A and B are shown apart, each in its own frame.
Chain A
Amino acid sequence: MTLLDFARGPALQAALVIFIIGALWRFIGALLLPWRLVPAQPREGSPGTVSAWLKGMAVKMWPHEPFAKHGAFQFINGYIFHVGLAIVVFLFVPHILFIQGLTGLSWPGLPNSFVTVIGVVTAASLVAALLHRLRSPVLQLISRVDDYISWLLTFLPVLTGLLATAHLGARYETMLALHILSICVFLIWFPFGKLMHAFLFAFSRGMTGVRLGQRGAEL
């Protein structure tokens, strides 16, 4: 049982189990609390609940003009590493094959050298995000340990992934094992930190979408 076998086998399996348990526990635990929506009469011509919900989710993807200007760094840099992570995780052929092994779903990927470049950009963007969090007085006040743990556990897979692709740092199998282990830790932490926003954002945005959407107000 080499480190790579351990990482690819039991470690990853345990991590996925904990991830699913934690995610469902938090997700269902939060959303089975009493809904108690305030039943206000919607303004006529305002969108129905479902379309208001979806509109809420869609509109929040792009900031209103004044907030794009002042929050420019967070908004632009945020998109760089989010889109970067999405490309690296879901359009890198070996990752697609992993997902296919787990779920049977498959789709075409991007050339590996292109994804590697994206990976480097993503890593740089994540570092920039950390520096911004450390320098901005607002973020200094509101940041918590969770923010830094979540940052580190998102950065490590990208770093070890890049090192493994470039055959640097250690023997390929060792770095690949470290890459998979860093993903295991990421998956284990995921439900208990702020990474859960990846699922909960849909509900948070949806609720506001319905509340303001049915008043005919802008979202």
Chain B
Amino acid sequence: MTAKTTASGVPYDAQGEMTDQARRDAAMKGFVKEFGAVAASHLESCVRCGMCSEACHFYVATGNPAYTPIHKLQPFEQAYKRHAGPFSPVYRLFGLVPSVTVEKLQEWERLIFDACTMCGRCTLACPMGIDIAELIKKARHGMFKAGLIPDRLQLMDRTARAWGSPATPAEDFADIIRDTGEELGVPMNVDRDKAEYLVTVAPAELTEHTKALADAAKVFNAAGLDWTYHTEGFEASNIGYLNGDLELQEKMTRKLIDCAVKIGAKTLVLPECGHAYGAARWEAARWYGGEVPVRVIHMTELLAEVVNSGKIRLKPIAQSATFHDPCQLVRRGGVNEAPRDVMKALDLKLTELENTKALTWCCGGGGGVVSNTRADPIRYKAFELKKREVDATGTQRFVTACGQCRITLNLGAKHFKWDKKVESLLELVADNLAD
């Protein structure tokens, strides 16, 4: 893993000892596998109107035209036109569309990974309905095969493959759970043979935010649910979904689903994490031929269920608050009302951000960007958009429902010395359970 720069002076990371030609071929193979009718209908319809740029926080915050979302797909589209489009035989025969060069892929690594959180706001802006976020994810498969992904994501990929989680080896998982339980005096269930609910965790919760593990336990116990954590299926964040490593994505997803089936759980609860929801809720069926044998829900959906069904009652906080809608949960996931139901139950008087629900600005850290330190400068710029809108609401509390967003927003707050505390919805519920 070495940081390099292209002839045109653009920094990129490269993994593995492949020759340039081999790297390019691997990328093309990765791309070509993605060119189905769905990608074709999108890639054939762009009219270069530029409206997606106005939706992208990286372009709006920096003003750099290179961050125009559709521009980030240029090599992917070129490969499509040359290898899979209806006119591809003609383009190849007359050399009308050149094959993608490895320099271009190296140059575009920064645009496909650093400058895109796959938040999907551009997809909502595109008048032709091109799902640019989806296509970026497809493009990342090829980039991974070519070994042209940010080193930090490669690092996390290797640890996840080795340990089953980027945060901790699987063996230590049960101890972390029990230690946290004892430390915070919360009864914990781990590695039970049978349970109705299999609860999974995010990497941050295994390192700094271990309190979240206890918070989840408190809620499940208060609601009288039959639940457990489990060593064979605990890591919900799916690095393969972010860095294009399809094999890892499949392996991580299968671990969760198979473990849930093994312990007879009817519901698999994902933690407060964005891409975990995207990977497990919407793409698990990809590995299970259309029928996922277990109900997959996000922690926020679980909270709304137990609150709305009266399984738990909450003490009112009676303060003003604003909410950051995590992109993968709301814009890409459709869970609009659940967090608001919970906040109402907490008697938090919600003032919506100027851009909210499906139109919210992304925190700037999703899709592996926060882990990829090379992207920090533009991430901080994007953070300012969110900071300005939160300040504008003037509310006392600032809540969200995704660990990655909280990390990103906290890093931004520290960088700008912003005294706003970013709070987790789960934590608020756990701390305000009525006795």
| Interface set of A (CB-CB < 8 Å, partner B) | 25-41, 43, 46, 56-57, 60-61, 63-67, 70-71, 74-75, 78, 133, 136-144, 147, 192, 194, 196-197, 200-201, 203-209, 211-212, 215-219
Contacts and interface: CB of A to CB of B under 8 A. Distances in A.
A34 B47 CA distance: 24
Of A26, A46, A204, A212, most B-chain CB atoms within 10 Å: A204
Contacts of A138: 50, 53, 59, 65, 68
B16 interface: no
B129 A139 contact: no
Contact of A56 (B53, B129, B291): B129
Interface string B121-154: 0011111111100100000000000000000000
B71 A142 contact: yes
Contacts of B333: 215, 217
A74 B47 CA distance: 12
Given A33-B36, A35-B36, A194-B47, A63 B53 contact: no
A26 B165 CA distance: 45
A46 B35 contact: no
Contacts of B254: none
B24 interface: no
A43 B329 CA distance: 13
B334 A43 contact: yes
A208 B355 CA distance: 21
Contacts of B87: 25-26, 29, 192
Interface stretch (B37-45, B176-184, B265-273): B37-45
B41 A218 contact: no
B286 interface: yes
Contacts of B284: 40
Interface in B339-375: 355, 357-359
16 contacts: A35-B36, A36-B36, A40-B282, A40-B283, A41-B285, A57-B129, A67-B124, A70-B60, A75-B51, A192-B87, A197-B47, A197-B128, A207-B42, A215-B334, A218-B331, A218-B359
B124 A219 contact: yes
B35 A33 contact: yes
A203 B214 CA distance: 47
Q: Which bucket holds chain B's interface residue count?
A: 35 or more
A35 B38 contact: yes
A141 B65 contact: yes
A29 B37 CA distance: 9
Contacts, number: 189
B334 A203 contact: no
Of A26, A40, A143, A219, most B-chain CB atoms within 10 Å: A40
A71 B49 CA distance: 9
Contacts of A57: 129
B128 A39 contact: no
B54 A142 contact: no
Rank and list the top 4 A-B pairs by shortest CB-CB distance, nearest first: A29-B86, A205-B129, A216-B334, A39-B290
A141 B335 CA distance: 36
Interface string B56-68: 0001100001101
Interface of B: 35-38, 40-42, 44-51, 53-55, 59-60, 65-66, 68, 70-71, 84-87, 123-131, 134, 281-286, 289-292, 330-336, 355, 357-359
A70 B54 contact: yes
Nearest to A56: B129
A39 B423 CA distance: 35
A40 B280 CA distance: 10
B48 A139 contact: yes
A109 B134 CA distance: 43
A205 B128 contact: yes
A147 B48 CA distance: 8
Contact of B70 (A64, A142, A205, A215): A142
A153 to B, nearest CB: 14
Contacts of A206: 41, 129
Contacts of A200: 41, 44-45, 128
Nearest to B354: A66
A82 to B, nearest CB: 10
Given A27-B86, A60-B129, A63-B51, 16 more contacts: A29-B86, A33-B37, A39-B285, A40-B283, A41-B291, A57-B129, A70-B60, A138-B59, A139-B48, A139-B49, A142-B68, A142-B70, A197-B47, A212-B131, A217-B332, A218-B336
A40 B51 contact: no
Contact of B48 (A30, A142, A207): A142
Nearest to A203: B41
A207 B38 contact: yes
B49 A64 contact: no
Given A41-B292, A207-B129, A30 B40 contact: yes
Contacts of A203: 37, 41, 45
Nearest to B88: A29
A64 B68 CA distance: 18
B134 A211 contact: yes
A143 B70 CA distance: 11
B125 A64 contact: yes
Nearest to B131: A208
A207 B55 CA distance: 20
Contacts of A207: 38, 41-42, 129, 131
Contacts of A216: 334-336
A138 to B, nearest CB: 4
Contacts of A197: 44-47, 128
Contact of B40 (A31, A60, A70): A31
A40 B125 contact: no
B60 to A, nearest CB: 8
A204 B130 contact: yes
Nearest to A25: B86
A31 B289 CA distance: 22
A24 B245 CA distance: 36
A136 B49 CA distance: 10
B284 to A, nearest CB: 8
